[in-house]
Amino acid sequence: MLALILCIVFLLLLVIVTAYAERKVAAFIQDRVGPTETGPHGILQSVMDVVKLLQKEDIIPSAADKRLFALAPIVMFAAVLAGFAVIPITPSAIASGAYLGVFYLLAIISLDVIGLLMAGWGSNNKYAVLGAMRSVGQIVSYEIPAGLAVLSVVMICQSLDLQEISFQQGILMNQFAGLEQEVNYLFGLKALNLDVTNVGGITTWNIVRMPFLFIAFIIYFISSLAECNRAPFDIPEAESELVAGFHVEYSGFRFAALFLAEYSMMVLVSLVAVVLFLGSWNTPLPNIGSVQLASWTTGTPGALTGHLWGAFWLLSKTVLLLYTQIWIRWTYPRLRVDQLMHLCWKVFTPIMLALVLLAGLWRLWMI
For 165-194, give the secondary structure using H, E and C: HHHCCCCCHHHCCCCCCCCCEHHHCHHHCC
Give the pLDDT score at 306: 85
**Mean pLDDT in residue range 174-203:** 73
Q: How many CB atoms lie within 10 A of CB 299?
A: 21
Give the pLDDT score at 323: 94
Please, which residues have CB within 8 angstroms of residue 96's CB and are 6 or more apart in sequence? 85, 86
Give the pLDDT score at 280: 92
Mean pLDDT (the chain) is 87
Q: Residue 1: pLDDT band by 50, 70, 90 thresholds?
A: low
Q: How many CB atoms lie within 10 A of CB 88?
A: 25
**H-helix or E-strand spanning residue 309:** helix 304-329
**Mean pLDDT in residue range 231-248:** 76
Give the pLDDT score at 210: 86
Which comes out higher in pLDDT, residue 221 or 239? 221
**Mean pLDDT in residue range 83-100:** 84
CA nearest to 256, candidates 30, 47, 64, 91: 47
Of 2-6, 65-69, 334-338, which has the strongest mean pLDDT?
A: 65-69
d(CA 360, CA 142): 22
Lowest mean pLDDT among 172-176, 221-225, 270-274, 313-317: 172-176
Give the pLDDT score at 191: 66
Please, which residues have CB within 8 angstroms of residue 29's CB and are 6 or more apart in sequence? 327, 330, 331
Give the pLDDT score at 272: 95
**H-helix or E-strand spanning residue 288:** strand 287-288
Give the pLDDT score at 50: 86
**Mean pLDDT in residue range 353-366:** 88
Which comes out higher in pLDDT, residue 46 or 197? 46
Share of the chain above pLDDT 70, in %: 93
**Mean pLDDT in residue range 95-108:** 85
Q: Residue 131: pLDDT band by 50, 70, 90 thresholds?
A: confident
pLDDT at 322 over 90: yes
Write the DSSP symbol of residue 336: P
pLDDT at 187 over 80: no
Give the pLDDT score at 348: 96
CA nearest to 169, candidates 201, 129, 214: 201
Please give the model's pTM, rounded to 2 decimal places. Answer: 0.93
pLDDT at 242 over 70: no
Which comes out higher in pLDDT, residue 19 or 302? 19
Give the pLDDT score at 241: 65
pLDDT digits (tens, 9 = 90+) for 262-283: 899 999 999 999 999 999 999 9
Q: Residue 141: pLDDT band by 50, 70, 90 thresholds?
A: very high
